[in-house]
Amino acid sequence: MSAARVVLEGVRVRYAGADRDALGPIDLDVAAGEFIALVGPSGCGKTTLLRTVNRLQPIDAGRITIDGTNSEELDPVTLRRSIGYAIQATGLFSHMSVARNVGIVPELLRWDRARIDARIDAMLELVRLDPVRYRDRRPRELSGGEAQRVGVARALAGEPRLLLMDEPFGALDAIVRRELQHELRDIIARVGTTTIFVTHDVNEAVRLADRIVVLHDGRIEQCGEPLELADRPATAFVRALFASDDAIAERRAARPVHP
Protein backbone atom coordinates (compact mmCIF):
# COMPACT_ATOMS: atom_id res chain seq x y z
CA MET A 1 0.00 0.00 0.00
CA SER A 2 1.43 3.36 -0.93
CA ALA A 3 1.47 6.25 1.50
CA ALA A 4 0.68 9.86 0.79
CA ARG A 5 2.48 13.02 1.83
CA VAL A 6 0.04 15.67 2.97
CA VAL A 7 0.99 19.33 3.11
CA LEU A 8 -1.25 22.01 4.58
CA GLU A 9 -0.29 25.62 3.91
CA GLY A 10 -2.08 28.55 5.50
CA VAL A 11 -5.31 26.58 5.84
CA ARG A 12 -8.14 28.57 7.40
CA VAL A 13 -11.77 27.77 8.12
CA ARG A 14 -14.34 30.33 9.14
CA TYR A 15 -17.93 29.31 9.81
CA ALA A 16 -20.67 31.41 8.25
CA GLY A 17 -21.54 34.39 10.43
CA ALA A 18 -18.51 33.98 12.74
CA ASP A 19 -16.27 37.00 13.27
CA ARG A 20 -13.06 35.00 13.53
CA ASP A 21 -11.50 31.87 12.06
CA ALA A 22 -12.52 28.57 13.64
CA LEU A 23 -9.28 27.13 12.37
CA GLY A 24 -5.94 28.41 11.21
CA PRO A 25 -3.79 29.49 9.78
CA ILE A 26 -2.48 25.91 9.82
CA ASP A 27 0.84 24.88 8.29
CA LEU A 28 1.65 21.21 8.58
CA ASP A 29 3.76 18.80 6.57
CA VAL A 30 2.88 15.14 7.08
CA ALA A 31 5.50 12.80 5.64
CA ALA A 32 4.54 9.68 3.71
CA GLY A 33 3.89 6.86 6.17
CA GLU A 34 3.92 9.12 9.20
CA PHE A 35 1.44 8.72 12.08
CA ILE A 36 0.27 12.14 13.26
CA ALA A 37 -1.98 12.72 16.27
CA LEU A 38 -4.00 15.90 16.53
CA VAL A 39 -4.53 16.62 20.22
CA GLY A 40 -6.44 19.29 22.08
CA PRO A 41 -9.55 20.03 24.10
CA SER A 42 -13.07 20.02 22.62
CA GLY A 43 -13.58 22.91 20.25
CA CYS A 44 -9.87 23.33 19.48
CA GLY A 45 -10.46 22.58 15.81
CA LYS A 46 -8.88 19.14 15.59
CA THR A 47 -11.91 17.48 13.96
CA THR A 48 -12.40 20.46 11.66
CA LEU A 49 -8.75 20.19 10.62
CA LEU A 50 -9.08 16.46 9.96
CA ARG A 51 -12.18 17.01 7.83
CA THR A 52 -10.48 19.60 5.64
CA VAL A 53 -8.16 16.87 4.36
CA ASN A 54 -10.91 14.80 2.70
CA ARG A 55 -12.89 17.95 1.92
CA LEU A 56 -15.80 17.18 4.22
CA GLN A 57 -14.97 20.65 5.54
CA PRO A 58 -14.38 23.32 2.86
CA ILE A 59 -11.47 25.67 3.51
CA ASP A 60 -11.65 29.45 3.18
CA ALA A 61 -7.95 30.09 2.59
CA GLY A 62 -4.71 28.24 2.01
CA ARG A 63 -4.22 24.94 0.25
CA ILE A 64 -3.85 21.26 0.94
CA THR A 65 -1.71 19.15 -1.33
CA ILE A 66 -1.71 15.38 -1.32
CA ASP A 67 1.33 13.89 -3.03
CA GLY A 68 1.90 17.24 -4.69
CA THR A 69 -1.63 17.65 -6.09
CA ASN A 70 -3.82 20.44 -4.78
CA SER A 71 -6.83 18.65 -3.31
CA GLU A 72 -9.15 21.36 -4.64
CA GLU A 73 -8.25 20.25 -8.14
CA LEU A 74 -9.40 16.69 -7.49
CA ASP A 75 -12.96 15.48 -7.70
CA PRO A 76 -14.03 15.21 -4.03
CA VAL A 77 -15.64 11.80 -4.59
CA THR A 78 -12.47 10.37 -6.16
CA LEU A 79 -10.35 11.99 -3.47
CA ARG A 80 -12.45 10.47 -0.66
CA ARG A 81 -12.31 6.98 -2.16
CA SER A 82 -8.52 7.16 -1.86
CA ILE A 83 -8.66 8.20 1.80
CA GLY A 84 -9.70 5.88 4.64
CA TYR A 85 -12.01 7.31 7.29
CA ALA A 86 -12.98 6.00 10.71
CA ILE A 87 -14.96 7.80 13.42
CA GLN A 88 -15.98 7.30 17.02
CA ALA A 89 -19.63 6.57 16.23
CA THR A 90 -18.31 4.03 13.66
CA GLY A 91 -20.93 5.12 11.12
CA LEU A 92 -21.28 1.46 10.15
CA PHE A 93 -24.22 1.06 7.79
CA SER A 94 -26.78 -0.68 9.96
CA HIS A 95 -28.69 -2.21 7.02
CA MET A 96 -25.61 -3.93 5.65
CA SER A 97 -23.69 -6.97 6.86
CA VAL A 98 -20.16 -6.60 8.21
CA ALA A 99 -18.84 -7.90 4.89
CA ARG A 100 -20.72 -5.33 2.85
CA ASN A 101 -19.63 -2.57 5.18
CA VAL A 102 -16.00 -3.54 4.80
CA GLY A 103 -16.38 -3.97 1.03
CA ILE A 104 -18.15 -0.67 0.40
CA VAL A 105 -15.18 1.36 -0.89
CA PRO A 106 -13.89 -1.46 -3.13
CA GLU A 107 -17.47 -1.74 -4.39
CA LEU A 108 -17.56 2.01 -5.13
CA LEU A 109 -14.19 1.60 -6.85
CA ARG A 110 -15.79 -1.14 -8.99
CA TRP A 111 -13.34 -3.89 -8.13
CA ASP A 112 -14.42 -7.30 -9.36
CA ARG A 113 -16.39 -9.51 -6.96
CA ALA A 114 -13.66 -12.06 -6.26
CA ARG A 115 -11.14 -9.34 -5.42
CA ILE A 116 -13.63 -7.61 -3.11
CA ASP A 117 -14.40 -10.88 -1.28
CA ALA A 118 -10.74 -11.67 -0.82
CA ARG A 119 -10.14 -8.14 0.40
CA ILE A 120 -12.98 -8.35 2.94
CA ASP A 121 -11.52 -11.53 4.42
CA ALA A 122 -8.02 -10.08 4.49
CA MET A 123 -9.21 -6.91 6.23
CA LEU A 124 -11.24 -8.82 8.83
CA GLU A 125 -8.21 -10.99 9.56
CA LEU A 126 -6.07 -7.86 9.82
CA VAL A 127 -8.30 -6.52 12.60
CA ARG A 128 -8.46 -10.00 14.16
CA LEU A 129 -12.08 -10.82 13.46
CA ASP A 130 -12.69 -14.32 12.10
CA PRO A 131 -14.26 -13.79 8.64
CA VAL A 132 -16.30 -16.99 8.93
CA ARG A 133 -17.93 -15.80 12.14
CA TYR A 134 -18.24 -12.10 11.38
CA ARG A 135 -18.90 -11.65 7.65
CA ASP A 136 -22.67 -12.02 7.85
CA ARG A 137 -23.26 -10.27 11.16
CA ARG A 138 -25.11 -7.00 11.41
CA PRO A 139 -23.50 -3.96 13.07
CA ARG A 140 -26.07 -4.15 15.88
CA GLU A 141 -24.84 -7.66 16.72
CA LEU A 142 -21.32 -6.39 17.46
CA SER A 143 -19.77 -5.18 20.71
CA GLY A 144 -18.30 -1.66 20.76
CA GLY A 145 -14.79 -2.98 20.28
CA GLU A 146 -15.81 -5.30 17.43
CA ALA A 147 -17.67 -2.47 15.71
CA GLN A 148 -14.56 -0.29 15.88
CA ARG A 149 -12.48 -3.13 14.43
CA VAL A 150 -14.92 -3.35 11.54
CA GLY A 151 -14.68 0.45 11.21
CA VAL A 152 -10.90 0.20 10.89
CA ALA A 153 -11.20 -2.71 8.42
CA ARG A 154 -13.63 -0.68 6.32
CA ALA A 155 -11.37 2.38 6.39
CA LEU A 156 -8.42 0.32 5.09
CA ALA A 157 -10.27 -1.84 2.56
CA GLY A 158 -9.90 0.51 -0.40
CA GLU A 159 -6.09 0.49 -0.11
CA PRO A 160 -6.03 4.14 0.94
CA ARG A 161 -2.89 6.25 0.68
CA LEU A 162 -4.04 8.11 3.73
CA LEU A 163 -6.09 7.18 6.79
CA LEU A 164 -8.10 9.73 8.78
CA MET A 165 -9.36 8.70 12.21
CA ASP A 166 -11.52 10.84 14.46
CA GLU A 167 -11.46 9.57 18.06
CA PRO A 168 -12.07 6.03 16.80
CA PHE A 169 -11.69 4.54 20.28
CA GLY A 170 -13.37 7.38 22.18
CA ALA A 171 -16.45 5.40 23.15
CA LEU A 172 -14.66 2.24 24.32
CA ASP A 173 -13.81 1.17 27.84
CA ALA A 174 -10.21 1.52 28.97
CA ILE A 175 -9.23 -2.13 28.51
CA VAL A 176 -10.60 -2.55 25.00
CA ARG A 177 -9.22 0.85 24.16
CA ARG A 178 -5.68 -0.11 25.16
CA GLU A 179 -5.95 -3.35 23.24
CA LEU A 180 -7.11 -1.59 20.08
CA GLN A 181 -4.45 1.13 20.40
CA HIS A 182 -1.84 -1.58 20.56
CA GLU A 183 -3.23 -3.39 17.55
CA LEU A 184 -3.74 -0.24 15.51
CA ARG A 185 -0.04 0.59 15.89
CA ASP A 186 0.73 -2.89 14.54
CA ILE A 187 -1.75 -2.67 11.70
CA ILE A 188 -0.56 0.74 10.56
CA ALA A 189 3.05 -0.41 10.72
CA ARG A 190 2.10 -3.33 8.49
CA VAL A 191 0.07 -1.46 5.87
CA GLY A 192 2.35 1.59 6.00
CA THR A 193 -0.33 4.14 5.21
CA THR A 194 -0.03 7.76 6.34
CA THR A 195 -2.34 8.31 9.31
CA ILE A 196 -3.86 11.42 10.86
CA PHE A 197 -5.53 10.60 14.16
CA VAL A 198 -7.69 12.92 16.26
CA THR A 199 -7.90 12.40 20.00
CA HIS A 200 -8.40 14.43 23.15
CA ASP A 201 -6.47 11.81 25.10
CA VAL A 202 -2.77 12.69 25.34
CA ASN A 203 -1.90 9.17 26.52
CA GLU A 204 -3.42 7.72 23.38
CA ALA A 205 -1.52 10.20 21.21
CA VAL A 206 1.76 9.40 22.95
CA ARG A 207 1.24 5.65 22.52
CA LEU A 208 0.37 5.86 18.84
CA ALA A 209 1.93 8.82 17.13
CA ASP A 210 5.27 9.57 15.52
CA ARG A 211 4.47 13.23 15.94
CA ILE A 212 1.86 15.07 17.96
CA VAL A 213 0.20 18.32 16.91
CA VAL A 214 -1.27 20.21 19.85
CA LEU A 215 -4.15 22.43 18.81
CA HIS A 216 -5.57 25.27 20.87
CA ASP A 217 -8.24 27.72 19.73
CA GLY A 218 -7.85 26.64 16.11
CA ARG A 219 -4.11 27.10 15.94
CA ILE A 220 -1.10 24.83 16.30
CA GLU A 221 0.30 25.37 19.79
CA GLN A 222 3.23 23.03 19.29
CA CYS A 223 4.18 20.18 17.03
CA GLY A 224 6.80 17.54 17.64
CA GLU A 225 7.69 14.04 18.78
CA PRO A 226 5.89 12.94 21.95
CA LEU A 227 8.91 13.13 24.24
CA GLU A 228 9.98 16.42 22.76
CA LEU A 229 6.59 17.91 23.71
CA ALA A 230 6.78 16.40 27.17
CA ASP A 231 10.35 17.51 27.80
CA ARG A 232 10.27 20.90 26.14
CA PRO A 233 6.72 22.22 26.12
CA ALA A 234 6.70 25.50 24.23
CA THR A 235 3.81 26.98 26.19
CA ALA A 236 2.07 26.64 29.53
CA PHE A 237 -0.87 25.07 27.66
CA VAL A 238 1.25 22.22 26.33
CA ARG A 239 2.94 21.78 29.72
CA ALA A 240 -0.44 21.45 31.41
CA LEU A 241 -1.67 19.03 28.76
CA PHE A 242 1.30 16.71 29.26
CA ALA A 243 1.49 17.11 33.04
CA SER A 244 -0.67 14.13 33.92
CA ASP A 245 0.62 11.77 31.32
CA ASP A 246 1.51 8.24 32.38
CA ALA A 247 2.13 7.08 28.82
CA ILE A 248 5.18 9.35 28.70
CA ALA A 249 6.84 7.11 31.28
CA GLU A 250 6.05 4.02 29.19
CA ARG A 251 7.50 5.62 26.13
CA ARG A 252 10.62 6.74 27.95
CA ALA A 253 11.08 3.21 29.24
CA ALA A 254 10.69 1.83 25.73
CA ARG A 255 13.35 4.16 24.30
CA PRO A 256 16.65 2.40 23.69
CA VAL A 257 19.22 3.48 26.23
CA HIS A 258 22.49 4.61 24.72
CA PRO A 259 25.66 4.05 26.69
Partner 1 sequence: MSYLLAHPARVGALALAHAALVTGALAAACAIALPLGVLAARNARGSVVLLGALGAIYTIPSLALLALLVAACGLGSLPIFVALVAYAQFVLVRNIAAGIRSIDPAERDAAVAMGMTPRDVLMRVEFPLAMPVIVGGVRIAAVAMIALATLGGYVGAGGLGSLIFTGLALHHTDEIVAGSIASATLAVLVDVTLRGVERALRYGVSR
Instruction: Tell me: does residue 118 bind partner 1 (CB under 8 A).
Output: no
Among 7, 74, 96, 122, binds partner 1 (CB under 8 A): 96
Looking at the chain, list the stretches that DSSP marks H as alpha helix, in order from N- to C-terminal side: 46-53, 76-81, 98-102, 104-108, 113-126, 131-134, 144-157, 174-191, 202-208, 226-231, 236-243, 246-254
Instruction: Tell me: does residue 108 bind partner 1 (CB under 8 A).
Output: yes
**Alpha-carbon distance 177 to 23, whole Å?**
29
We find the least distance from the C-beta atom of residue 80 to partner 1, in angstroms, to be 4
Number of residues counted as binding partner 1 (CB under 8 A): 29
Q: Between residues 106 and 218, which has the closer beta carbon with respect to partner 1?
A: 106
**Alpha-carbon distance 190 to 204, whole Å?**
19
We find the least distance from the C-beta atom of residue 159 to partner 1, in angstroms, to be 13
Each residue of 161-198: b (16+ CB within 10 Å) or e?
bbbbbbbbbbebeeebbeebbeebeebbeebebbbbbb
Note whether 155 and 163 are within 8 A (CB).
yes
Q: Between residues 106 and 233, which has the closer beta carbon with respect to partner 1?
A: 106
Among 11, 64, 92, 209, binds partner 1 (CB under 8 A): 92
Instruction: Map residues 199-238 to x or -, x wherever contact with partner 1 holds by CB under 8 A.
Output: ----------------------------------------
We find the least distance from the C-beta atom of residue 155 to partner 1, in angstroms, to be 9
Instruction: Map residues 52-91 to x or -, x wherever contact with partner 1 holds by CB under 8 A.
Output: --x-x--------------------xxxxxxx-x-x-xxx
**Alpha-carbon distance 251 to 189, whole Å?**
17
Alpha-carbon dihedral angle through residues 180, 33, 46, 153, given to the nearest 10 degrees: -40
What residue ranges bind partner 1 (CB under 8 A)?
54, 56, 77-83, 85, 87, 89-97, 99-100, 104-105, 108, 136, 154, 158, 164
